[in-house]
Structure 1
Amino acid sequence: MRILFISQLFDPEYSIKGLGFLQEMQKQGFEVDVITTFPNYPTGKVFPGYKAKPWQIEMHDGVRVVRVFSYISHSRSKLSRALNYVSFMVSAFLAAAIIRKPDVIYAYHPQLTTGLIASVFKKVSSTPFVTDVQDLWPDALTATGTQSKGLVYSVINKVCNFVYKNSARIVVLSDGYKNALIDRGVPADKIVVVYNWHADESVTIDGREERLLPQGFDHTFVYAGNLGAAQSLKNVISAFSNSAEKSVCLVVIGSGVEEGELISHARTIGAKNIFFLGYVSSQKIKKYLSQADVLVVHLRDEPLFKITIPSKIQAYLSSQKPILMAVGGEANQIICDADAGVSAEPDNILSIESAIIELLSRRNEWEEMGRNGRRFYEAEMSRGRGVSKIVSVLKDLQN
């Protein structure tokens, strides 16, 4: 079976369903082509070793990767974001029309634009496709403050429904997403829940690495990921700054559109225990996580995020570290079920402070929490388990 995988995000950018996933699919007997663009996320600059051009082909152990032009921008400008998505959509569609015809298209990221490419391609060539829903659009746009309800919201909603209607199967990352799509009228038998996994789950870390995190504190909490509106880290920073336990610091690793505002906020409130390390590549991030005492997850207090499972949860569970989870809903419940840390209410400074204090009072349990998290990950969220489900979905389409 020949698969065409379309994603605007792909290795060497951090991507859960990236090259490792496709190489696993290849081992299962699938032939794989990829259409993507030149790596630039999250910095908005093309990665070293690459140069934006109309077309480039790479081979990675039998997986053919076709990189196409897109307008590269990660600014706050809605026009720039739109040009980024639309330019890739046009380039990717033209590439799909030129390369060898697939049996199935797997539309990954972002699912609205890649799903629209696959929908149009289906109309032209009758090729079935699977769309992988990592964000519920247009709800995600309103939840992050990117787009208010109105004409644009309505248009995006109709395009999403068009993609869902035309897709042969829809892969979602949580039960909450599945229920939300059912409420939108999508048939339940069309939707398959597949937890995301940690892209680097097999990578081991040498414990003798030099110290990468700030010193001078008894306990180091680490947040690693995008610094955007959805992550809403201002209240997290305030909670750590307010903590009476001055032997605790928060290290923020990553970049994004709100990075400058967060640094300014930390300075304004006089936080002495908050450190910003900037962007760290996906190849190095595990070394930083291995030196943390507790890992932090936070999303803005929005109904949509209470039914999502942030991808960093899998990375954190896999790393065998205790977790401070402040997302709410399904994500908080996972940490509770796994007994892998302590939960707090998102955007609630007092609740986050209480979680910090509880974790410190249970520091003798941190090692056990980490082991519990790893066990839960291996049983429910590993790449092997996820690939097996997706293989079943694709083979079902072939029958």
Structure 2
Amino acid sequence: MKDILIVAHFTQVPGEQGNGRFGYIADILADEGHNIEIVTTQFSHRTKKQRASIGEQGNQLKYKLTMLNESGYRKNVSIKRFYSHYIFGRNLKSYLNNRKKPDMIYCAVPSLDAAYAAAQFANDNNIKFVIDIQDLWPEAFKMVFNKPVISDLAFSPMNKKANYIYNSADNIIAVSETYVNRALSANQNLKKGLSVFLGTDLSYFDTFNKENKVNKPLEEIWLAYIGTLGHSYDLNTVIDALSILKGKGINNIKFIVMGDGPLKFKFQDYAKAKKVYAEFTGRLHYEEMVGILGSCDIAVNPIRSNSAGSIINKVGDYAAASLPVINTQECQEYRDLISSYDAGINCENGNPVDLAESLLSLYSDSKLRKKMGENNRKLAEDKFDRNKTYLNLISEIMQE
């Protein structure tokens, strides 16, 4: 039996919505007889509120859950957010210094402040340090604050911190091969890492899909988007494409947008201005989202140019739902998956005409939609099913 400490700054706690990776991993390791603790924050990044005590729900967990203080913030890109992360990192450092030394630290990256504190502690105490990269910082922030030279200088301290974390790792796990390669470029000791997509439990997904299907008018084609409505996502180009098709007399494509974020009202207003048939549902419970998604015909993955994202949450759900994907994301890793599985159509980023033509080809051909959707489901079964893929992840964590 090993004492394993999981540091996960951005994770769900009992009672919160989400399809969390780290609670899932903790349950597996606990079932194997290991002593597991997850350390996270009292502040919820999603709701921007301090969390209440989980009370009795905590007693039902297979692992110990510790929530440390963090000051909080209102905007995702702000000085207050960076300060809040600093506070959490400082409190984590103090907690580690007063806790019994674990046999291993399994650490989510980001945030950098928490991961940096964990890396320093592991180095100082000769503790095995395994990282699991969920996003690339500071690369992701450069999407929002992209000023040549100025951005590089402003984010230089973050970049140095990230490189220290990557170089400290005894094992590198990430949600994509793209992220693995970024970490390996800074690690002087490792030649390989392991890519395990975030994925989902397909058995649960299929149950929710069956139980929560919605009635859809036969004459309509539903185009789905799920996820954050923020700066990395180019819904305006999708709306422009739909406007182009409407100009050609196609009025029965309904754009269903499931999610919330800082640009929600801007996207809503743009859809109204373009007179596009769209429904913005807001944030849904995962079970409800799956039911609606499974009732759709096509999915769209509209990521802005130069995004640091790679294999993101939504594409796993699209695959699980057997939907063909219209993809504008430039990440070569995902574009290659779409091509190799013939699971959708890759479009030119930011080009509404190309997107409209791709959408028209799927709209006009039900057999093509069915074939590509089935291929995408095969991709889900091969690459996104946690029942299979997380066995490799656990094996990587526990190797000596």
CA distance in 2 between counterparts of 1:166 and 1:323 reads 38
Q: Does 1:159 align with 2:164?
A: no
Determine which of 194, 219, 222 is the counterpart of 2:221.
219
Q: Could you tell me whether the CA contact under 8 Å between 1:33 and 1:65 is conserved in 2? A: yes
Matching of residues 368-383 of structure 1 within 5 Å: 368-383=371-386
Q: Does 1:281 align with 2:285?
A: yes
CA distance in 1 between counterparts of 2:170 and 2:314 reads 28
CA distance in 1 between counterparts of 2:188 and 2:203 reads 33
SS of 1:393's partner is helix
SS of 1:342's partner is strand
Give the match for residue 261 of structure 1: 266
Give the match for residue 90 of structure 1: 90
User: What is the one-letter code of the residue matched to 2:63?
Assistant: V
Q: How high is the TM-score relative to the length of structure 1?
A: 0.87
Give the match for residue 73 of structure 2: 73
Runs of 5+ unmatched residues, structure 2: none
CA distance in 2 between counterparts of 1:163 and 1:197 reads 25
CA distance in 1 between counterparts of 2:211 and 2:115 reads 45
Give the match for residue 351 of structure 1: 354
User: What is the one-letter code of the residue matched to 1:10?
Assistant: T
Structure 2 vs 1, CA of residues 209 and 275 (structure 1 numbering), >3 Å: closer, same or farther?
Answer: same
Q: Could you tell me whether the CA contact under 8 Å between 1:294 and 1:324 is conserved in 2? A: yes
Give the match for residue 19 of structure 1: 23
CA distance in 1 between counterparts of 2:161 and 2:134 reads 16
Give percent identity, aligned residues only. 20
Q: Does 1:44 align with 2:48?
A: yes
Give the match for residue 331 of structure 1: 334
Cα drift, residue 357 of structure 1:
0.7
Give the match for residue 6 of structure 1: 7
Matching of residues 111-190 of structure 1 within 5 Å: 111-145=111-145, 149-184=151-186, 186-190=188-192
Q: Could you tell me whether the CA contact under 8 Å between 2:143 and 2:232 is conserved in 1? A: yes
Give the match for residue 320 of structure 1: 322
Q: Could you tell me whether the CA contact under 8 Å between 1:6 and 1:109 is conserved in 2? A: no
Give the match for residue 228 of structure 1: 230
SS of 2:225's partner is strand
Cα drift, residue 108 of structure 1:
1.0
Q: How high is the TM-score relative to the length of structure 2?
A: 0.87
Structure 2 vs 1, CA of residues 69 and 288 (structure 1 numbering), >3 Å: closer, same or farther?
Answer: farther
Cα drift, residue 172 of structure 1:
2.2
Cα drift, residue 264 of structure 1:
2.5
CA distance in 2 between counterparts of 1:206 and 1:194 reads 24
Deviations 1:130-149 (A, max 9, x none): 11112222222213437752
Deviations 1:156-204 (A, max 9, x none): 1111111112121121222333333444465552522222212565231
CA distance in 2 between counterparts of 1:111 and 1:212 reads 41
Give the match for residue 105 of structure 2: 105
Cα drift, residue 220 of structure 1:
0.7
Cα drift, residue 105 of structure 1:
0.8
Q: Could you tell me whether the CA contact under 8 Å between 1:42 and 1:255 is conserved in 2? A: no
CA distance in 1 between counterparts of 2:275 and 2:218 reads 15
CA distance in 1 between counterparts of 2:57 and 2:129 reads 23
Structure 2 vs 1, CA of residues 239 and 184 (structure 1 numbering), >3 Å: closer, same or farther?
Answer: farther
Structure 2 vs 1, CA of residues 166 and 180 (structure 1 numbering), >3 Å: closer, same or farther?
Answer: closer
Q: Could you tell me whether the CA contact under 8 Å between 1:252 and 1:275 is conserved in 2? A: yes
Structure 2 vs 1, CA of residues 68 and 359 (structure 1 numbering), >3 Å: closer, same or farther?
Answer: same
Cα drift, residue 36 of structure 1:
1.2
CA distance in 2 between counterparts of 1:135 and 1:349 reads 27
CA distance in 1 between counterparts of 2:57 and 2:91 reads 14
Cα drift, residue 248 of structure 1:
0.5
Give the match for residue 341 of structure 1: 344
Cα drift, residue 325 of structure 1:
2.0
User: What is the one-letter code of the residue matched to 2:289?
Assistant: I
Cα drift, residue 8 of structure 1:
1.9
CA distance in 2 between counterparts of 1:395 and 1:106 reads 10
User: What is the one-letter code of the residue matched to 2:136?
Assistant: L
Give the match for residue 296 of structure 1: 300
Runs of 5+ unmatched residues, structure 1: none
CA distance in 2 between counterparts of 1:179 and 1:295 reads 28
Structure 2 vs 1, CA of residues 56 and 34 (structure 1 numbering), >3 Å: closer, same or farther?
Answer: farther
Cα drift, residue 392 of structure 1:
2.4
CA distance in 1 between counterparts of 2:185 and 2:349 reads 25
Pick which of 10-19 and 163-172 moved more. 10-19
Q: Could you tell me whether the CA contact under 8 Å between 1:168 and 1:190 is conserved in 2? A: no
Cα drift, residue 226 of structure 1:
0.6
Structure 2 vs 1, CA of residues 187 and 123 (structure 1 numbering), >3 Å: closer, same or farther?
Answer: closer
Pick which of 164-173 and 108-117 moved more. 108-117
